[in-house]
A and B are shown apart, each in its own frame.
Chain A
Amino acid sequence: MNIIKFLDEFTSESLTGKVSSRRDVFGTFGSLGKKAALAAVPFGLATSSGKAFAQAGLKQHEEPLQLALTLEYLEAEFYIKALDSGVLPSGGRAEAVYNQISKHESAHVEFLKTALGDASIDSPTFDFTVGGMFDPFNENGTGQEVAYAQLLALAQAFEDTGVRAYKGQAGNLMGTPYLTPALQIHSVEAKHASEIRRLRASVMGEVGNENALGWITLDNRGPGMPEATQAVYDGEQNVTQGGVDLTMATSFDAKAVSQSFDEPISGETAKAIAGLFIVS
């Protein structure tokens, strides 16, 4: 069976229907559904090392950086497991790309742990299958091709989420020495996102068209992306910046205008999205 067919199945209702008991969870990826809400609770507190920090006691930069560290833990572990899974075609572009991104995400973890010092948190325990919904590492017999499609889809969702989450925290870091480093990570996540989007498109046979872009059009998650990832893209369709409707101020349409600006997400939204993959 070819990859496109698998991707179609991957996105089809039948896949979500197959595990209908988890349908609600799946459908609330990022929207504070039951599981997401529960999962979001231990966020930050998952560090059972006795450092249960009171929110009020945190310094200005600590909460944003703890959120960032949690997202980096998520990404770092995901890429390490992806590279260990044997799902990626060996020796090709995908493996090189995942290796490079893995290197950066692991470096970000170390960088943020150092920056946070005593306020650092331990890694949560992640479940990238979301209770059996996904099988990106082909651990449960889903097969290499479906697993590969899921590896690419999850990577895209994580990277596009990372870009929005860092952007959303920039204002909270103003006036601290951590703003610039956060911006320096933010743009790296955007480079990752662009490449993963283009890699995923090429694997699907999409090249040189609207489905093969490194940037986000309107709030489109793109072909082959599970409906569950829509929360990652909600709000990206904005065309008004600084009070200026740029579809009126320029001769370009909403597609081009929306592509030209990435939108932030709140810490709560970022936690909810990440929380879906956090067991404890």
Chain B
Amino acid sequence: MKKPLIKVQKTNLSHPKTNNSRRQFLKMGGLAVAGSSLLLYGCSDDDDDMEPMPGEVFDLGSGDVGILNYAYALEQLEAAFYTNVLDGSYWMNANAEEKKILEDLYKHEVIHREFFKAAITGAAGAAKTLPELEFDFSSVNFGDRDSVLQTAQILEDTGVSAYNGAGSLLVTPDYLTLAGKIVSVEARHASAIRSIYLSDDTAFAGDDVIDANGLDPAVDPATILAAVGSTGFVKTAFTANNLPTGA
């Protein structure tokens, strides 16, 4: 069995309000899994044997710092992805609209990443700040429009679902506001990417994501991390054993 990339704790996933959202998320997440490997957690009996030694594998931590590190991990992923996009031949030859959107997304995600790095380091110290992760985007063809935009859509949709699901886990009002400042920008991204990639004029806020109450998904960290792990994009192992669950 391949060693887990991201190890997540077991959480109570039976929150009725988010069941539909979670299914939706996983369905989309499935698009990204094409050809990618396995994952993570609870999939073998020797779970205990895989507990990292202290100092060996970074754990996101507990409380608000844990949630901030979780967001930092997602922002690192997005920033690394768009950095690759701007180095790829699809972007270089894209039309002005797509080029502009992707360049802006690159800037925004790098800024989000650097914000979390500074904020977590300032609040909790470097030792409790998630290190720089390494990524493997070999499953994405950066010369191919569909491959790039489909991955971008999944990452942006995932970001919105993740922030919406993490908000209630924060206890410091300032952090909630900061997360709110970022999630709406992620939603603006998701809308724009969906608008240029999908042909349906309603896809910017499509029925495939938004439910009958007009609500976007809200997905818990364990589910998000499992799905992110399933993409195979994250090379650096880390654990999420102490995140708040709201349970």
Contacts and interface: CB of A to CB of B under 8 A. Distances in A.
* A and B interact: yes
A241 B178 contact: yes
Interface in A132-157: none
A163 B181 CA distance: 9
B185 interface: yes
A256 B104 contact: yes
A103 interface: yes
Given A184-B215, A195-B191, A242-B174, A259 B184 contact: no
Contact of A191 (B165, B173, B205): B205
A259 B216 CA distance: 22
A174 interface: yes
B216 A188 contact: yes
Contacts of B96: 207-209
A241 B183 contact: no
Interface stretch (A7-15, A117-125, A243-251): A243-251
B199 to A, nearest CB: 11
Interface in B189-208: 189-192, 195, 201-202, 204-206
A193 interface: yes
A261 B107 contact: no
A99 B101 CA distance: 25
A260 interface: yes
Contacts of A171: 173, 176-177
A190 B188 contact: yes
Contacts of B215: 111, 181, 184-185, 188
Counting contact residues on chain B (CB < 8 A from A), the size range is 35 or more
B214 A103 contact: yes
Interface string A70-96: 000000000000000000000011001
A244 B190 CA distance: 26
A61 to B, nearest CB: 13
Task: Say whether chain B's binding surface is mostly helix, strand, loop, or mixed.
Answer: helix
A250 B111 contact: yes
- Counting chain A CB atoms within 10 Å of each CB, which of B163, B187, B195 scores highest? B187
Nearest to B164: A183
Contacts of A193: 188, 191
B115 A180 contact: no
Interface in A260-279: 260-264
A191 B190 contact: yes
Nearest to B121: A244
A261 B183 contact: no
- Counting chain B CB atoms within 10 Å of each CB, which of A107, A191, A207, A212 scores highest? A191
B118 interface: yes
Given A96-B202, A99-B202, A100-B205, A212 B104 contact: no
Interface string A183-211: 11111111111110010000000011100
Contacts of A186: 180, 183-184, 187
B93 to A, nearest CB: 14
Return the 7 tightest CB-CB contacts between A and B, nearest first.
Answer: A208-B96, A107-B214, A96-B201, A190-B187, A194-B191, A104-B214, A184-B215
Interface of A: 92-93, 96-97, 99-101, 103-108, 110-111, 163, 166-167, 170-171, 174, 179-181, 183-195, 198, 207-209, 212-215, 241-244, 246, 249-250, 252, 256-257, 259-264
